[in-house]
Amino acid sequence: MRRAPRRTARRLAAAALAGALALGASGCATGTPLDNIVEGLVDQGVEQITSGIDESVRGLVDDVLGGVELSTDGEPPASFPTEIPLTGEVLGGGAGPNGTGWVVRTRLDGAGAFDAAATALEGAGFAASGVSSDESSGYGAFTSSAYRVDLSVATDAQGEVTATYVVTPA
């Protein structure tokens, strides 16, 4: 009589194990609530880690470079001089501490992009020097009584045209 309860217990355990495996396998195919919870927790953890790294990097840049301002939100740095015209879509930039200099990168439309950017600077009262350009690139220095702007325009292998403005006080 003792063997019957053991057999029954083994059969029940085997049935429970088989049921759990079947449920687990079907859960992989359809996404069980437990899978969704685990996936959500993993995604949340990854997001917290990456945002923490991003903030740490920004803090490290501030500590190492002492007051550098970075912009990656489609706007020039907040301290960028407003009297310098930018052409194209602003991609981002940076500013040195205490107005020591700025860099802004923009995306331009294409052919004639350097000429358009140079014309905008000259229209704002900047004098051009050392200008050299062709259909896909260009460089020039533009000066006013307050600032020097080194403008370079380049076209990458995919055809994207970008301008880089390096601005320093005169």
pLDDT at position 37 is: 57
pLDDT at position 70 is: 79
pLDDT at position 69 is: 78
Q: How many domains is the chain partitioned into structurally?
A: 2
pLDDT at position 18 is: 42
pLDDT at position 38 is: 54
Contacts of 96-100 spanning 24+ positions with Cβ under 8 A: 96/67, 96/68, 97/65, 97/66, 97/67, 97/68, 98/67, 99/169, 100/168, 100/169
pLDDT along the chain (170 residues), means of 10: 50 43 43 56 55 56 62 87 96 89 91 90 97 90 96 91 93
Distance CA 26, CA 131 (A): 68
Question: Are 73 and 135 within one domain?
Answer: yes
Question: Are 137 and 77 within one domain?
Answer: yes
Give the domain-ending residue among 62, 95, 112.
62
pLDDT at position 89 is: 95
Question: Are 10 and 74 within one domain?
Answer: no
Question: Are 23 and 87 within one domain?
Answer: no
Give the domain-ending residue among 21, 36, 62.
62
Question: Are 43 and 91 within one domain?
Answer: no
pLDDT at position 20 is: 40
pLDDT at position 97 is: 86
pLDDT at position 24 is: 43
Question: Are 91 and 153 within one domain?
Answer: yes
Question: Are 128 and 75 within one domain?
Answer: yes
Question: Are 58 and 72 within one domain?
Answer: no
- Domain carrying residue 8: 3-62
Give the domain-ending residue among 14, 29, 62.
62
C-alpha gyration radius of the chain: 30
Question: Are 14 and 54 within one domain?
Answer: yes
